[in-house]
């Protein structure tokens, strides 16, 4: 009897080892299947993803025909970014609420395709401001969820009050906003771009213009024309080089971060009450929604995995059902 049990144990260990080796040889295949399942989990977000992806592909073909290869690269980057929310969900085992995922997808499309390729940043002056406001809101949601997940983790001794959780989310969002402005400045200085858009102003103040040479701001007002090296620029005023644009971006980022931080504060303070914040705060995946684990177990057992196109998108589940019922009683 002992020999039989020992032989069974060896065979079981051998089978597990073989399955792990097979699984290790096809990580990309497993990742692809899990990604397919994640994309099709919620009907509404899948429709948005599919529609935006189709529009990006059409745009890429048109740019390729026009031999605008820089925009072709931008379209390829956008396709990659559109899949990142689902990739992050299966990799880090978190669940993005459907509302948040759709906003992220639209944000990526609005910034890259509409903003850059369709030049909405120039056509609509408010476009950049709106996106930076939304970026502040989204970054605060991500920062808040990181702290909230740690707060609720059984493995990590990390507990913050609702106020401090909101403050951390706000600081996280502002840090992301500042880092982005650093990136824009670096690209302009080193790459010769103009990401920090300039602003036409009609008055300037500078101590360098003080005739007496003192540390006193001297104002030039009523500026209607500017000439550089004897050439009139035709701007109708003086050109501010990026400063106003940068400060406006940070201010609206501040507004977006503040709005979400207030929402997040009441979300933690009144856990389980209300639905607004729950639509924007990621949470841990339920075990039966860990698609990468499901695919690996299916592959290890030898059962056929879900083929592309076979799985129908599931109906939306109420957002509050995913809130863990065990938290805070």
- 81 within some domain: yes
Give the pLDDT confidence score for residue 321 in this predicted structure. 46
> Which regions of the chain are under pLDDT 70?
1-26, 152-159, 271-275, 300, 302-329
**CA separation, residue 2 to residues 7, 12, 16, 100 (Å):** 9, 15, 21, 56
Same domain, 148 and 272: yes
- 117 within some domain: yes
Same domain, 264 and 290: no
297/285 Cα distance (integer angstroms)? 17
Same domain, 259 and 150: yes
Same domain, 149 and 174: yes
- 300 within some domain: yes
Q: Check: CB of residue 221 under 8 Å from CB of residue 203.
A: yes
pTM of the model: 0.74
Give the pLDDT confidence score for residue 250 in this predicted structure. 96
Domain that holds residue 231: 199-240
Concatenating the DSSP letter of every residue in 117-181 gives IS-HHHH-THHHHHHHHHHHHHHHHHHHHHHHHHHT-SS------HHHHHHHHHHHHHHHHHHHH
Which three-class secondary structure state does DSSP give residue 94?
A: strand
- 319 within some domain: no
287/279 Cα distance (integer angstroms)? 20
263/136 Cα distance (integer angstroms)? 13
133/127 Cα distance (integer angstroms)? 10
Give the pLDDT confidence score for residue 327 in this predicted structure. 41
Give the pLDDT confidence score for residue 245 in this predicted structure. 92
220/233 Cα distance (integer angstroms)? 18
Same domain, 207 and 75: no
Give the pLDDT confidence score for residue 147 in this predicted structure. 82
Q: Please state, as a whole number, how many other Cβ atoms lie within 10 Å of the Cβ of residue 280.
A: 23
- 3 within some domain: no
Domain count, the chain: 3
Which three-class secondary structure state does DSSP give residue 188?
A: helix
Same domain, 73 and 84: yes
Same domain, 297 and 174: no
206/191 Cα distance (integer angstroms)? 28
Same domain, 171 and 290: no
Same domain, 75 and 209: no
- 1 within some domain: no
pLDDT digits (tens, 9 = 90+) for 269-312: 886 565 677 788 887 777 777 777 777 777 767 655 554 444 44
Same domain, 296 and 263: no
- 29 within some domain: yes
- 322 within some domain: no
Same domain, 92 and 35: yes
In which region does residue 169 sit, left (phi positive, over 0), alpha (psi from -120 to 50) or beta (all else)?
alpha
Same domain, 186 and 227: no
Q: Which residue is associated with the tokens 């989990």?
A: 41
Give the pLDDT confidence score for residue 157 in this predicted structure. 55
Contacts of 130 (CB under 8 A, 6+ apart): none
């Amino acid at each position: 009897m002992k020999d039989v049990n020992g032989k069974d144990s060896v065979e079981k260990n051998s089978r597990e080892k073989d399955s792990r080796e097979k699984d290790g040889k096809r990580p990309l295949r497993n990742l692809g299947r899990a990604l397919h399942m994640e994309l099709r989990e919620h009907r509404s977000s899948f429709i948005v993803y599919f529609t935006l992806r189709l529009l990006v592909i059409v745009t890429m073909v048109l740019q390729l025909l026009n031999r605008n290869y820089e925009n072709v690269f931008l379209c390829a980057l956008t396709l990659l970014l559109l899949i990142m929310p689902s990739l992050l969900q299966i990799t880090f085992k978190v669940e993005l609420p459907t509302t948040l995922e759709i906003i992220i997808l639209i944000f990526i499309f609005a910034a890259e395709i509409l903003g850059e390729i369709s030049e909405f940043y120039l056509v609509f002056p408010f476009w950049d401001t709106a996106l930076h406001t939304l970026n502040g809101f989204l970054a605060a949601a991500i920062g808040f969820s990181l702290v909230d997940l740690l707060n609720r983790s059984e493995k990590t001794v990390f507990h913050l009050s609702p106020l401090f959780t909101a403050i951390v989310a706000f600081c996280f969002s502002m840090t992301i906003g500042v880092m982005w402005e650093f990136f824009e400045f670096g690209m302009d200085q080193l790459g010769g771009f103009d990401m920090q858009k300039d602003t036409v102003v009609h008055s300037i103040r500078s101590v360098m213009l003080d005739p007496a040479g003192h540390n006193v701001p001297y104002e030039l007002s009523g500026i209607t024309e500017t000439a550089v090296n004897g050439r009139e620029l035709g701007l109708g005023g003086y050109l501010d080089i990026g400063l106003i644009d940068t400060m406006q971006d940070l201010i609206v980022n501040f507004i977006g971060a503040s709005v979400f931080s207030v929402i997040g504060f009441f979300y933690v303070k009144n856990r389980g009450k209300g639905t607004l914040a729950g639509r924007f705060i990621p949470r841990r995946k339920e075990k039966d929604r860990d698609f990468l684990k499901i695919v690996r177990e299916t592959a290890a057992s030898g059962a056929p995995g879900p083929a592309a196109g076979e799985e129908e998108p599931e109906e939306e589940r109420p957002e509050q059902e995913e809130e863990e019922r065990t938290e805070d009683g």
